[in-house]
Amino acid sequence: MSILATLADGLASGSVEVLDLTAPLSAETPVIQLPPQFAQTAPFELEELSRYDDRGPAWYWNNFRTGEHTGTHFDAPNHWVTGKDGDDVASVPASRLVAPAVVLDFAAQAADNPDFLLEVEHIREWEAVHGPLPEGGWLLYRTGWDARSSSQQEFLNADDTGPHTPGISPACARWLGEEAPVIGIGVETVGTDAGAAHSFDPPFPCHASLMGSGKYGLTQLQNLGQLPPTGALLIAGPLPIVHGSGAPSRVLALVERG
Ligand code: MN
């Protein structure tokens, strides 16, 4: 039997489960807030065109307005100045949008310390148990932050010193971009960088290193806690916005059960 026929059988029998890692997209979806001197991204907004009424008697439809980086979304290499000559989101090869994924769970550490930073040593310890990070695949970084995603305030977790959300250390970000075999990292927070990364050296090291290495980011993922540490297949579907720096994205995971 062909590989795809076997997969289709698994999907039909339930031995392969499809998990949705995508946050619902609405006006309530949390959005990043930059310091006031910078331009701000738009929250998601629906504008009703007609709803079975005079404006369109048999049909319902909307326009929408959103930032490229609103909700569960994909960061393309050209999002950061380090990757400005790299692919826009429409140029990311489709073959890279279906890839293996592993999950590193640091929800307990992030619960104790919202400024928790992933280090290379943490990844090495994980690899000693689960094997190497997947070549051409994703590192999904679980922090439990998806539980906060119904509240902008809890999600951004800001005080007068700025946002406090877990992320990745500058050294680990550099390693992930330049040395790790993965094509990108996925997170549950509003961006791939820590809330405090504005004051890191370099600032926003995860964006700087990943985009500069032609890699990708996936943010505001949900349900990572339902994934096994290894063995999932991730499907990321950003809108192919020509010249876009990223796009809202449906992200699914195929997981083998039983
Ligand atoms: Mn982004």
Residues lining ion ligand 1 (Cβ < 5 A) are 69, 75
Q: Is residue 75's pLDDT more than 90? A: yes
pLDDT exceeds cutoff 80 at 154:
yes
Would the pTM of this model clear 0.85, i.e. be above it?
Answer: yes
Among 101-105, 117-121, 144-148, 149-153, name the one with the lowest average pLDDT.
Answer: 149-153
Instruction: Tell how far the Cα of 32 is from the centroid of ligand 1, in angstroms.
Output: 9
To the nearest whole number, what is the mean pLDDT of the chain?
A: 97
Q: How many A from CA of 69 to the centre of ligand 1? A: 5
Could you give the residue numbers annotated as active site? 79
Residues 175-180, mean pLDDT to the nearest whole number? 98
Distance from Cα 218 to the centre of ligand 1, integer Å:
7
How remote is the CA of residue 73 from the centroid of ligand 1, in Å?
6
Residue 11 corresponds to which tokens in the numbers above? Answer: 């999907």
Domains assigned to the chain? 3-38+68-256 (3.50.30.50)
